[in-house]
Amino acid sequence: MWSRLVAVVAVLGLQAEAMEKNPVSNADMCKLAKTLDGKVLLSTATCCVGYARPVNYLCPANTGDETFAKTTAQYLMDCDGEIPDGVIIAKGPGDVSKALAYAKAANVAFRVKSGGHSQACLSTVKDGVVLSLESMKKIEYINHDDGSVFVTIEAGVTLTELRADYIANSDVYFPHGLDPWIGAGGHFTGGGVGHLVRKFGFGSDFVVGMDVVLPSGEFVQVFEPEYEERLTGRLSVYNERDRQLLWGLKGSGHANFGVVTKFWMRTIPRPAYVVLGKYSYNIADKTSVEEYWNSMCGYYSKAPEDETAEERNLLVWPMVSNNREGPGFLMRFIIYYIPDNNSTAQGALDEATPVVNAFLTHVNGLTYHSGGIEAVAESGQFPNLVDPSVSRYAPTCVSRIVPSREDVCNRDGWIGKFADFIYDEISLFPSRGTTLFTYFDKWGGAASLNDANFERTSVNTRNAYGTIQFCRIPLNVATRDTNAMINGEGGTKDFNDSVLADVGNGWYLNFLDTLATEPEQIYTEPAVYQRLQKVKNVYDPTNVLDRPLGVPLPGSEFLADSTLALVGASAPTGQDYCKLSGTLEGAVLMPVMGCCGTSAVPPGFPCTADPANGNLSYAESHNRVLVDCDDLKPNAVIIARSALDVTKSLKFIKERDIDYRIRSGAHSQSCASTCSNCVVISLEKMKGIDYVTSDTGATFMGVEPGVVLKELIADYQDHSDVYFPHGLDAPVGLGGHLGGGAVGYLTRKFGFGADFIVGVELVLGNGKFVQVYDQDYEEQLLGYRRAHNDEDQDLLWAVKGNAHANVGVVTRYWMRTIPRPSYMVKGFYLFGVQSAVHLRSFWGSVCKFYSVSDESPKAKNLIIWPFVRSGNQLMLQVFYLPDRNDTASGALAEAEEVLHEFLVGVTAPLITQSIQAVPDKMQFADILNDQGGRTTYSCTSRLVRKREDVCDNWSFLDSFADRMWYEMVNPVVDQTFFAYFDPWGSAATTNDPDFVKSSFMGRHAWGTFQYCRTPVGAVTREALWATVDTFDSLIASQISDSWYVNFQDRTTTNRSQVLFVPEVNERLQTIKAKYDTTGVFSSPLTVTLPERGW
């Protein structure tokens, strides 16, 4: 994340330091403008002096749709003294990320706005910079197959634009307010209070996902789990941090933890007709005001749970204001009724009339002036409480939350005090130069109280009864006196001090009061406040989004408890697995019958050991693992058939906090692809192979992880004339093979298979599906080039040789290829062993041949695998990749010349040999050991870091020769053995630019040495391992203290034995911290997260 910020800051030429806020530099803003899709607007006429003016850098003298004067005129008049020095008009999340980087690096005062409607002026700042989202106005509709309709709205959409769009383009809506200029960004992160609250809940209750730019500059998407798959086609692995961030943004966002650029909303059907009413009553004296208010308390006296559905359909906004048609003041009611019977105007009116009349019977102390109700359709359903043609909003207001009905209705003397103040101010009209209105917005008892989505929001008013608001409005905007309206007699502060002081101690969150001075006055629930502080500490630990009344970072007393960790759960039942299987393209396999209990068994869920519906059985899948791993039997095997299956499986596992493993071919010698009392995610059915030919003529292969080497070879021999480096064991799956380096017979000439990876598709620890490509090859693969950052390339580097489910599950590899030779030379030489001397001479020949650091090209064409094995035999397996491969004779002649150099030093007698040049389709016919059975040998494997570790280590050579001779003349009953050396040192990879792009630890080594025991009778694995351990203790410890990474030895106990190069391990840890922050991937030998503060 940070590297992205640093890159932007470097472009701007800025330094990030913690200090008092700096003045805004026009020169820096000019530089910033050059990097944006949007614009930079400044208040000064000489804003680009000394710099070339970019086309999107507007100074006040410029004209156009967006000017500094126009954007700052969107603010309330109360904010005229808080005009910024500059405004950044963002066109997308990329601009937001750059703006956040600029604000942090330049250390300037900084605010964020969408509509600019904040009554407390929190969307502007004097002597600072405002990030404006006003140009982000896209609205889109998503029609799901299940009939659900979702709406995505960008943060700059105003409520007027929102209503006009969904009226024109759909038959759905969701709760929101009615003031025309309010922007979606502030409205829905502040709760979304409006006319639908009592029936449906708050607007924030309908937010099911958000696009967010975090203070770090990272762009993230967070969704409610049950909606995400319907919206995106995937399902993230949700952890508590994700949920906490979404919870914090839904009601207490306000640029506290990140900048929301898009909201994903669930919707409800929009009624064909609603009932609107406007009533006015005359105010005669103070008594009439008091009597009226007491009658309202009587009407709203019911407890929320006691209200009828029809009563919750009714929303009433009572307000006092001057009579615009004549002298005097009126008590006005705006009535909004949402009928259940809304298909016809008459049906809607018939349902609403008795409910409205029941309300009007409580209006005491007032005399009717005018008004009535009517059923209206479509666009008439949304009355504008404020004239949208008025360019600026002039009132000054104070607003208080009413925590409970008793805070108003049962508070001794309060209603009388309120009536006195209001009537006194009415009597002084128009001498104050202002008029007033006051209203009560009652939502207590809303349907949201019983809505499962309700508790997922941090709306501070969610447990409140309603709000009271008092506003002063200038009679003449031109002579408006803001100070008098706030601080003068009869002003908002006077009303606050004399009337509202006894109502409650909480401030209303959506329209933050200008008199609020501390965030604790806003977030009145201690548990909510402290929980928000924890979210702040995780997502904005350096307080980039520092603003007045914003949630502060927690103090030291909270830090110990401020980590938002995963939520544990009980072990899954058979029914849980049954339900999971029903959501997959693949299947869940279990070893027991009756695993679904009383639940219906979904297709593809074979609960018994028998195959069903063409799927593998549990036994068949488990039998893929090595015999050594037989006793490690998981509780279930999840057969994934797609990346989405992988995501769902990870989510299922992590929500229940159970151990798991991931496998492709199950060939791990350390049994890392299975476990006991756990779950295995198997990729064995993901077997896609694709070929892509670019405009340059290059051929690329896309291979899924479940493809085994036998299938890969058969496919490219049938469909192409290319290949890439890989191994030869038939059952090895490409997921673990390529992710672990892919050592094979082409290594010395071309490099490791991992060096040929140019792109991957993978599921990260948070469930996000990503595609990452090498920058040098992306355009050839995709036909275009995407914007890249350092982290993309870091991630690709990490999975090229150290994947092993460290930072994600690779679901497809994209491979560059090389032409496949028409002929290859292969064969073997078998020598008899008559003494330990023959073993020493044989090994000496190996060392001599590989002693030259600057080998000839032809020497690099030769791959030899020297074996010592039971039966007093030495075998030399040979592969030669000739430069002259167009004819069999040419290939063979070239190979024999190089082989002679090697064989001259071998003193053991030759028993037999077979060497030939074989054509394309026969090159692998007798190499692949695929008998359809299970691999049974038990091995120890060591990485040989340097040639000197073997060839100049006489103690090792003598001990090895003596031990091998001893085992030859003293065979163990029912066991055979073999030991071999795989030398790849000084391979062409060291000069290949793609070589350093992989994290494979073997690239730092000379080769590997392996010793194995194989059963030939009724021998136990324990007996096999006893022999292996004896060899290991006597011999292998003299080679090196580093373990071979591709086939992890079973005796490896920690990751440092595998990742023996410190700088590689540290780099992998930093990547782990970025892409798997909560340690979702934590199987044995995975890279660990760095220590806190590392």
Sign of CA dihedral 905, 911, 915, 921: negative
Q: Judge contact between 326 and 280, C-beta under 8 A.
A: no
Q: Could you tell me if 9 and 796 are in contact, meaning their C-beta atoms sit under 8 angstroms apart?
A: no
Say if residue 841 is exposed, middle or buried (CB neighbours under 10 Å; 0-12, 13-18, 19+): middle
Closest CA to 225 of 838, 648, 850: 648
| Separation CA 470–CA 466 (nearest Å) | 14
- Looking at residue 60, what is its pLDDT? 45
Cβ contacts of residue 569 below 8 Å, gap of 6+? 655, 656, 657
Give the model's pLDDT for residue 139. Answer: 96
Question: Whose CA is closest to 204, among 161, 253, 271?
Answer: 253
Maximal CA-CA distance, the chain: 124
Spatial contact of 1040 and 944, defined as CB atoms under 8 Å apart: yes
Please give the pLDDT value at position 988.
42
CA angle centred on 1087, ends 1081 and 1092, rounded to 5°: 95
Q: Which of 502, 497, 523 is nearest to 512 (CA)?
A: 523
Cα angle, residue 978 at apex, residues 975 and 983 outer, rounded to 5°: 165
Which tokens is 81 given? 């003294």
d(CA 782, CA 776): 12
Residue 922 buriedness (CB in 10 A; 0-12 / 13-18 / 19+)? middle
For 469, counting Cβ atoms within 10 Å of its Cβ (0-12 exposed, 13-18 middle, 19+ buried), the class is buried
Structure tokens belonging to residue 592: 């027991």
Q: Which pLDDT score is estimated for 152?
A: 96
The first and second tokens of residue 328, run together, are: 């005097």
DSSP string for 99-117: HHHHHHHHTB-EEEESS--
Nearest by Cα to 1020 from 934, 938, 933, 931? 938
Beta strands in 657-807 (DSSP E): 660-663, 679-682, 689-693, 699-703, 722-723, 757-764, 769-773
Q: Could you read off the pLDDT of 1048-1062 as tens digits, one per residue?
A: 455 554 444 455 566
pLDDT of the residue at 815: 94
Full-prediction pTM beyond 0.75? no
Q: What own/partner pairs with CB < 8 Å and gap ≥ 24 does 693-701 have?
A: 694/780, 694/781, 695/780, 696/780, 698/780, 698/816, 698/817, 699/817, 700/758, 700/777, 700/780, 700/781, 700/814, 700/815, 700/816, 700/817, 701/814, 701/815, 701/817
Beta strands in 929-986 (DSSP E): 938-944, 975-983
CA distance 1052 to 594: 39
Determine the Cα–Cα distance for residues 409 and 734; give it in Å rounded to an integer.
72
- Among 594, 659, 657, smallest CA distance to 632 is for 659
CA distances, 769 to each of 145, 397, 461, 810, 811 (Å)? 22, 47, 36, 10, 9
Contact 734, 850 (CB under 8 A): no
The neighbouring-strand residues paired with 40 are 57, 88
DSSP letter, residue 27: H
CA distance 550 to 534: 13
- Separation in Å, CA 683 to CA 236, 317, 1009: 18, 59, 29
What pLDDT was estimated at residue 262?
Answer: 96
d(CA 1042, CA 1026): 21
Give, in degrees to the nearest 5, the angle at Cα 51 between 50 and 57: 130
* Residue with token string 């769009």: 165
CA 820 from centroid of its chain's CA atoms:
40
Element (H, E) at 735: helix 734-739
Count of residues in the chain = 1094
Structure tokens at 1066: 């540290």
Q: Which residue has the tokens 């949007």?
A: 38
Contact 123, 71 (CB under 8 A): no
How far is 757 from 738, CA to CA, in rounded Å? 8
Tokens 């911290």, residue located: 1073
Amino acid (one-letter) located at 153: I
DSSP letter, residue 989: G
Q: Average pLDDT by consecutive 10-residue portion of the chain (1094 residues)?
A: 32 44 84 82 61 50 55 71 86 88 86 81 85 94 91 94 91 87 88 82 90 83 84 68 82 80 94 90 85 78 74 83 73 88 91 91 86 84 60 72 75 83 84 76 54 64 75 81 86 83 55 61 69 78 72 55 39 78 82 52 45 56 74 86 87 82 79 82 92 89 93 90 87 87 81 89 80 85 65 78 72 93 88 88 79 67 83 86 85 87 82 87 60 65 75 80 88 82 59 58 72 78 79 68 49 50 65 64 53 31
Cα–Cα distance list, 747 to 167, 675, 708, 726, 755 (Å): 64, 32, 19, 8, 10
Can you state the angle between helices 1021-1034 and 954-969, rounded to 10 degrees? 150
d(CA 1065, CA 746): 27
pLDDT for 52 equals: 46
**Residue 834 CB coordination number (10 Å):** 14
Reading phi first (left if > 0) and then psi (alpha if -120 to 50, else beta), residue 382 is in beta
Query: From edge to edge, which strands make up the β-sheet containing 314-322?
Result: 367-377, 273-282, 329-337, 314-322, 434-442, 466-474, 396-402
Task: Please answer whether residues 302 and 444 qualify as being in contact, where contact means their C-beta atoms are separated by less than 8 angstroms.
Answer: no
In 3D space, the residue among 115, 151, 108, 109 whose CA is nearest the CA of residue 133 turns out to be 115
Look up residue 713 and give its two tokens: 């070879």
Residue type, 545: L
Query: Up-side HSE of residue 1035: CA atoms within 13 Å toward CB?
Result: 24
Three-class SS of 544-598: CCCCCCCCCCCCHHHHCCCCCCCCCCCCCCHHHHHHHHCCCCCEEECCCCCCCCC
Q: What's residue 243's pLDDT?
A: 77
* DSSP category for residue 524: -
Backbone angles phi, psi at 426, to 5 degrees: -60, -40
Contacts with 411 (C-beta within 8 Å, 6 or more apart), sequence order: 502, 503
